[in-house]
Structure 1
């Protein structure tokens, strides 16, 4: 009995983990999509009573477009291309194959093959092919016009409705996949990919499984990365930026002279200065690298001489060279919130160029501290030790 129960339980899917608001949003979207598609098709076709204003497969398409908008099967080309291909194949089979059962079987199979080849797989399109074959005299009388109206017309209107609806409700649709350039075998792995799994790892696993998924590779990778981050948070505890940041922050303003800023760095033995405005809002950051880059200090010959020439203010007349912090600072600047978990700093410190200093701001975006890579490494190290002691794995 237990085995039978376990086998039968496989027929019931796991609970859908979304909010009631999202469920209602999907239902309203499907209602609007089908209603507008039907009314618009009816108004466009006018007196052509032989043309159905709506075909049944559009209901299944609405489920995908409004409930699973991120799925590769719900993207505009999947819907439009899949429906057009299936309609063409279905009409052709209905005309040339007298036996309806054979025509329907070939229509669905050929449609799937072509959709896979053309990267426009859309499950409801299988029903479009069946409709073309088994739709009855009214559909057969349309011939290849069935492809244009109602199939193409229904598809385009439903896609437009979905785009407008998702944009209005602040959801991404169409779902844009990231385009990656193929990395050379000897290319250095970006810092953010040096821990956990890589894109190549995920691609290899997908190849090994050799099955289509309802979720795109990019979304799957994003979910895995978020899961990893959640696991790190659980292992290291709730250590926030406010717990590790330096609160005695030396900052400068846009109009601070370069010579003064450099003197502050030397005096306090720091390598970066947040740049704030009169309201203490962070507007940029200036680092030793900014000084070196703008002073063309690519070599260390006469370093001090060249630097003094660069930062010394030209008295008495306007100079073309930079004279204040705002002219050479990096802006916009990456910031972290005081309540951000320290694990979330890892991708921030590896975006684009490696960031060694991240200003920390409060809920009103005012500067309250700064976190360095050394602060982060120390926190992760001590957090790991604390976790090991809790598990009894460290003396």
Structure 2
């Protein structure tokens, strides 16, 4: 009896979680509320702007129905390849044109709708602007009635293309104000900064691009994510798993505390002398109040300028409590030799070099091997 009651309680909790859990990965409550607000502003203003341009006469719909579906993609999943500006504008416009052509050439509306949607998918695929609401734009062009028929071949431009352009413009403004990344730029594969034929260090172990392609072929499915973003996500999963396994090592545990630094008013000669004397590759540079402004190394000092102010590079920073292994992507990018540990006021507390991190990783390996032996 008790087991049955516990099972029922567990099922209720499971379905409650399924009911309120986000459908999309990463869709926090804030993201979902922003999507609602963005769609409200985008659709309302698109209709108002078109109304101001054309008036409120019955001869033309101010905003076509597919814009509602476009708004869902634009504001709810702005990183999707299907929600990018060209996908929205090109997908809706080209699909509407396919629907108009199908409607003119085929008398039977049922057959015309099928042909219109089919043509729109093909046209969007070949023009790299696949956008699901485009199918609705093709249907609207065929079944829209007198309001659509009166505009003929202009319908894909007015109101479909006009609606799409206004909606995308409002989306660009909204995402910029809400600090969201749009248009989304897919992750670029790491490059070898030394300009040699070797694969970048991050790609020498673990999975590679060919593995991702092979997995997609094996699954035989299409996913709504760019290949570059998929690879970046999987690399981040690998990193998070490593941090979870060795997360007890913090930056405070392994950082160098006696940091050799220089003021931003120092000369190139002074900075170069410090680098050579202490056999280091990176000098933190602080302003008059002691706050970090950047770093400098021999590479930046190669031009022999009198002062270092114009040669300072942005600094890679982390906090005391950050997991030390979270610095792996930064310190293996082929360019960054040290991460500066700072407090909330950007005052230098320590420094972690590639050597510091390598030593920490090496010390953690025997422990991991020992745990595997014990588990076996």
Aligned to 1:299: none
Stretch moving more, 90-99 or 192-201 = 192-201
Matches within 5 A, 1:1-395: 15-16=22-23, 17-46=26-55, 48-178=57-187, 187-209=197-219, 211-256=221-266, 270=280, 272-287=282-297, 293=302, 326=308, 330-353=312-335, 355-393=336-374
1:59-99 CA-partner distances (Å, limit 9, x unpaired): 11111111011101111111111111111111111111111
Question: How far is the alpha carbon of 1:171 from its aligned partner?
Answer: 0.7
SS of residue matched to 2:38: helix
Question: How far is the alpha carbon of 1:130 from its aligned partner?
Answer: 0.9
**Alpha-carbon distance change, 378 to 101 in structure 1, aligned in 2, over 3 angstroms:** same
Gapped regions of structure 1 (runs ≥ 5) = 1-8, 295-320
Pair member with larger Rg? 1
SS of residue matched to 1:144: helix
Would you say the 8 A contact 1:100–1:134 is kept in 2? yes
1:151-198 CA-partner distances (Å, limit 9, x unpaired): 112111111111111111111111123566999xx8211123223223
Would you say the 8 A contact 1:280–1:366 is kept in 2? yes
Question: How far is the alpha carbon of 1:38 from its aligned partner?
Answer: 1.4
**Alpha-carbon distance change, 22 to 265 in structure 1, aligned in 2, over 3 angstroms:** closer
Question: How far is the alpha carbon of 1:230 from its aligned partner?
Answer: 0.9
Distance across 1 between alignment mates of 2:272 and 2:46: 65
Would you say the 8 A contact 2:247–2:323 is kept in 1? no
Distance across 2 between alignment mates of 1:58 and 1:106: 21
Distance across 1 between alignment mates of 2:268 and 2:168: 55
Distance across 2 between alignment mates of 1:156 and 1:262: 54
Question: How far is the alpha carbon of 1:240 from its aligned partner?
Answer: 1.4
Distance across 2 between alignment mates of 1:111 and 1:151: 14
SS of residue matched to 1:122: coil
Report how many aligned residue pairs link the two structures: 355
TM-score by length of 1: 0.79
1:239-293 CA-partner distances (Å, limit 9, x unpaired): 21111011122333345567766665676565554333333323444556667x5
Distance across 2 between alignment mates of 1:159 and 1:211: 29
RMSD of equivalent CA atoms: 3.2
Distance across 2 between alignment mates of 1:252 and 1:28: 48
**Alpha-carbon distance change, 148 to 41 in structure 1, aligned in 2, over 3 angstroms:** same
Distance across 1 between alignment mates of 2:50 and 2:268: 67
Would you say the 8 A contact 2:247–2:325 is kept in 1? no
Distance across 2 between alignment mates of 1:57 and 1:379: 55
Would you say the 8 A contact 1:286–1:328 is kept in 2? no
Would you say the 8 A contact 1:241–1:337 is kept in 2? yes
TM-score by length of 2: 0.83
